[in-house]
């Protein structure tokens, strides 16, 4: 996409920065499980910083979570508050970031219905992101209608908040192309620019590998470290972490590439010079897996301890979590109902 | 469908009948144009009678109208009040029948989103009604997503009102099968019967042919008689009506089968013995097309005059039409929000 903005994480970001009122961010997560270190690296850290720079809305996408869990809805409902607790625990501030619940914002469903008339089935089936997901989930033609059409629902989410910047990975760019196509069609019908096109906010951070170094990180695969992980769970995961299968003795020359421990040290260790030094030693031979795992263990225990403790406090008070989510949702309803009213007017459906 | 109920039109139907509170009717029209004699015979007459027997809701389906008019929305918006005026003009009584507007009932869009997770694309593509419509509209794979998925939206409409009886033609039976499949799936997820299955209310009335006897009746084809037709328009249409192409002289033996004038006399003339007599004369030879057309002209002028006059009064007062539609829609929102709340609860999405 031509207009991609690349996000530079700024370690100095703080609340003294002025908000750029020109840009509006929408981001979110399907509420299919508690969040893990992959989310922390891939999105949560950025969101904490972004909230100081931009108006930011985070959508807990429970309805989208249902698109491939229609017959297993408790997987979604059980995780809504977990996800909100994860957000708060990592430092997302509900006074700066609007946190809202998709299923409690009716305008999102209504916008989806209107936009669905402007997108062909063929167009949806051509979407590379959807294609890949259909393949990876082995759906074939048994794909639920809600799943094939979820790019339309995403367009509803993005446009309902007039988001201009959407943090995504490269693989999600086709979703934003679809959104912008809908925006242009709708504006053409309205004969004025009632919706705004969005730009991707690309992160330079590469995806964190799973603990076993093989598959996609997922809670159910047990190959990740949850933000809620206990000290023991962290240590256990690091012990099981893939390093270099030919690195049998401490004296052997080890490989850094594909070594999950080093990838995690790259991602989380505060002192990257120290990590570079470790890599040299490891490559030359003479540094054991036990040693680098111990270093990573200390690093992750230090990172996750305050997050876990904070999370525990939030989880212990569900009524507070609900109140935060409700307050953000109410604000979101005001915003999205306004956009819906304009879209309905564009279709001439504003009798009352 | 096993449990089909066949509607027997009862000429004695009147307001003294007691309402059958066990059954609830949902019916409606896509707001793609004013209504014509085909609608009158096919559905409007029945609805007038049904309102004395059952709780009846008529949905002005503007959103469904958009599923194949997304880029031409004024075709829908311009016709909403026309359709309501048609209803009132033929005797649908807003004190007995709830008349409501689809786009002003957000629960219908939300229910559609939930149900879309329980229906596969393959299932939608197998639907014979949808298949035929895709073919007749030459959509191919360029079919709008909203059009392929409209059986899901219909299921939302039917279930939102807990309708038990849905007046349909034989060709619409697959739509009700789809609805009942969704009902069973949802009830299975809820582990209780929160939605009710519906039965078709089949009409014995066969479809009224177009004036030219060939194509589907449609306003744009100019081969129909609108409820709003002027005296001149009625006469002109009857003059152009197909009879029997080999019936050249009055003395020729004429054919009744396929003769549109006789089909209309069957449908509209008050004295069917008289019509049977005409048919005998026509078949034997000695009755001219001009004569039977004159009889039909008198019959339709008499039928349509009070409807046209009543319609003109309603159309002259849009604020009254809007008030009626708004009142019905508000009542419908109460009903459908209640069903939506139960469906959301079934999915565990009832945090607030």
Residues forming CATH 1.10.240.10 domain(s) in chain B: 231-314
Name the packing angle between helices B173-190 and B106-115 (round to 10°).
Answer: 80
Residue-level pLDDT, tens digit, chain B, 352 residues: 445 555 544 444 444 556 667 899 999 999 999 999 999 999 999 999 999 999 999 999 999 999 989 889 999 999 999 999 999 999 999 999 999 999 999 999 999 999 999 999 999 999 998 888 888 888 877 899 999 999 999 999 999 999 999 999 888 999 999 999 999 999 999 999 999 999 999 877 678 889 988 767 776 667 899 999 999 999 999 999 999 999 889 999 999 999 999 999 999 999 999 999 999 999 999 999 999 999 999 999 999 999 999 999 999 999 999 999 999 999 999 999 999 999 999 999 999 9
User: Is a pLDDT exceeding 70 seen at residue A2?
Assistant: no
User: Is a pLDDT exceeding 90 seen at residue A218?
Assistant: no
Quick one: pLDDT band at residue A217, thresholds 50, 70, 90? confident
Instruction: Note the residue count of chain B.
Output: 352
The distance of A150 to chain B (nearest Cα, Å) reads 10
The distance of A57 to chain B (nearest Cα, Å) reads 19
A203-262 residues touching B, CB cutoff 8 A: none
Determine, for residues B73 and A104 on separate chains, whether the beta-carbon distance falls below 8 Å. Answer: no
> Under CATH, domain A231-314 is a member of which superfamily?
Tyrosyl-Transfer RNA Synthetase (1.10.240.10)
* Chain position carrying tokens 């961010």: A25
Determine, for residues B114 and A153 on separate chains, whether the beta-carbon distance falls below 8 Å. Answer: no
Determine, for residues A117 and B344 on separate chains, whether the beta-carbon distance falls below 8 Å. Answer: no
Cβ-nearest to A106 among B77, B110, B347:
B110
Quick one: pLDDT band at residue A14, thresholds 50, 70, 90? very low
d(C-alpha B262, C-alpha B241), whole Å: 10
Contacts of B77 in chain A (CB under 8 A): 347-349
Determine, for residues B348 and A73 on separate chains, whether the beta-carbon distance falls below 8 Å. Answer: yes
pLDDT of residue B137: 82
Considering chain A, what is the average pLDDT of its residues?
A: 92
Q: Which residues of B42-65 are buried (b: 16+ CB within 10 A; e: fewer)?
A: bbbbbbbbbbbbbbbbbbbbbbbb
d(C-alpha B184, C-alpha B198), whole Å: 11
B78-97 residues touching A, CB cutoff 8 A: 78, 80-81
pLDDT of residue B217: 73
On whether the CB atoms of residues A235 and A253 are closer than 8 A, the answer is no
Determine, for residues B152 and A142 on separate chains, whether the beta-carbon distance falls below 8 Å. Answer: no
pLDDT per residue over B124-155, tens digit each? 999 998 888 888 888 877 899 999 999 999 99
Kindly report the CATH class assigned to A5-208+317-346: alpha beta
ipTM of the complex: 0.91
pLDDT of residue B216: 72
Distances (CA, A) of A288 to A264, A282, A285, B76: 16, 7, 8, 72
pLDDT per residue over A265-302, tens digit each? 999 999 999 999 999 999 999 999 999 999 999 999 99
User: Is a pLDDT exceeding 70 seen at residue A23?
Assistant: yes
Cβ-nearest to B119 among A140, A145, A152:
A145
Determine, for residues B113 and A112 on separate chains, whether the beta-carbon distance falls below 8 Å. Answer: yes
pLDDT per residue over B6-52, tens digit each? 554 444 444 455 666 789 999 999 999 999 999 999 999 999 999 99
- Pick the range with the lowest mean pLDDT from A216-230, A338-352, B327-341: A216-230
pLDDT of residue B196: 96
Cβ-nearest to A348 among B74, B142, B189:
B74
User: Is a pLDDT exceeding 70 seen at residue A187?
Assistant: yes
Residue A51: both structure tokens together: 């909230």
Determine, for residues A73 and B125 on separate chains, whether the beta-carbon distance falls below 8 Å. Answer: no
On whether the CB atoms of residues A241 and A260 are closer than 8 A, the answer is yes
Mutate to test the interface with A, among B30, B116, B138, B333 (most CBs of A within 10 A): B116
Which residues, in sequence order, are CB contacts of A248 under 8 Å at separation 6+?
Answer: none
How many interface pairs between A and B have CB atoms less than 8 angstroms apart? 176
On whether the CB atoms of residues A225 and A233 are closer than 8 A, the answer is yes
Q: Provide the CATH topology of domain B5-208+318-346.
A: Rossmann fold (3.40.50)
Residue A193: how many CB atoms within 10 A of its CB?
12
Determine, for residues B349 and A76 on separate chains, whether the beta-carbon distance falls below 8 Å. Answer: yes
pLDDT of residue B1: 40
Quick one: pLDDT band at residue A234, thresholds 50, 70, 90? very high
Contacts of B344 in chain A (CB under 8 A): 103
B51-80 residues touching A, CB cutoff 8 A: 62-63, 66-71, 73-74, 76-78, 80
On whether the CB atoms of residues A331 and A183 are closer than 8 A, the answer is no
Which residues share a beta bridge with B242?
Answer: none
d(C-alpha A35, C-alpha A87), whole Å: 9
Question: Is the CB of B160 inside 8 Å of chain A's CB atoms?
Answer: no
The distance of A267 to chain B (nearest Cα, Å) reads 36
Contacts of A178 in chain B (CB under 8 A): none
On whether the CB atoms of residues B255 and B283 are closer than 8 A, the answer is yes
pLDDT of residue A299: 98
User: Is a pLDDT exceeding 60 seen at residue A1?
Assistant: no
Residues forming CATH 3.40.50.620 domain(s) in chain B: 5-208+318-346
Question: Is the CB of A116 inside 8 Å of chain B's CB atoms?
Answer: yes
Question: Is the CB of B144 inside 8 Å of chain A's CB atoms?
Answer: yes
pLDDT of residue B337: 98
Cβ-nearest to A63 among B81, B103, B113:
B113
Question: Is the CB of B306 inside 8 Å of chain A's CB atoms?
Answer: no
Determine, for residues B69 and A110 on separate chains, whether the beta-carbon distance falls below 8 Å. Answer: no
Determine, for residues B147 and A78 on separate chains, whether the beta-carbon distance falls below 8 Å. Answer: no
Residues forming CATH 3.40.50.620 domain(s) in chain A: 5-208+317-346
A285 phi, psi to nearest 5 deg: 100, 145
Question: Is the CB of B120 inside 8 Å of chain A's CB atoms?
Answer: yes
Cβ-nearest to A146 among B103, B113, B142:
B113
Considering all CA atoms of chain B, what is the largest pairwise distance in Å, rounded to the nearest integer? 79
């Amino acid at each position: 996409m031509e207009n991609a903005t690349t996000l530079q994480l700024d370690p100095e970001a703080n609340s003294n920065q002025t908000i750029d009122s020109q840009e509006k961010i929408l981001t979110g997560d399907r509420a299919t499980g508690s969040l893990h270190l992959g989310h922390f690296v891939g999105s949560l850290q950025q969101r904490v910083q972004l909230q100081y720079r931009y108006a930011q809305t985070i959508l807990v996408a429970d309805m989208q979570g249902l698109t491939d869990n229609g017959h297993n809805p408790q997987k979604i409902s059980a995780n809504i508050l977990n996800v909100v607790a994860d957000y708060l625990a990592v430092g997302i501030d509900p006074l700066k970031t609007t946190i809202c619940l998709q299923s409690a914002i009716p305008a999102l469903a209504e916008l989806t219905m209107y936009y669905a008339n402007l997108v062909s089935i063929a167009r949806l089936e051509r979407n590379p992101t959807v294609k890949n997901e259909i393949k990876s989930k082995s759906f074939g033609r048994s794909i639920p209608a809600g799943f094939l059409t979820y790019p339309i629902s995403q367009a509803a989410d993005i446009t309902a908040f007039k988001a201009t910047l959407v943090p995504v990975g490269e693989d999600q760019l086709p979703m934003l192309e679809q959104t912008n196509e809908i925006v242009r069609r709708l504006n053409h019908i309205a004969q004025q620019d009632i919706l705004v096109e969005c730009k991707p906010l690309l992160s330079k951070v590469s995806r964190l590998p799973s603990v076993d170094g093989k598959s996609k990180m997922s809670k159910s695969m047990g190959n990740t470290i949850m933000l809620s992980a206990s000290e023991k769970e962290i240590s256990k995961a690091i012990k099981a972490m893939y390093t270099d299968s030919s690195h049998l003795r401490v004296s052997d020359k080890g490989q850094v590439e594909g070594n999950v421990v080093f990838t995690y040290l790259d991602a989380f260790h505060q002192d990257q010079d120290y990590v570079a030094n470790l890599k040299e030693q490891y490559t030359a031979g003479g540094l054991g897996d036990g040693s680098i795992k111990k270093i990573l263990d200390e690093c992750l225990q230090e990172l996750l301890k305050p997050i876990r403790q904070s999370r525990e406090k939030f989880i212990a008070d569900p009524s507070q979590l609900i109140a935060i989510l409700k307050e953000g949702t109410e604000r979101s309803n005001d915003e999205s109902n306004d956009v819906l009213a304009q879209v309905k007017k564009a279709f001439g459906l504003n009798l009352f």
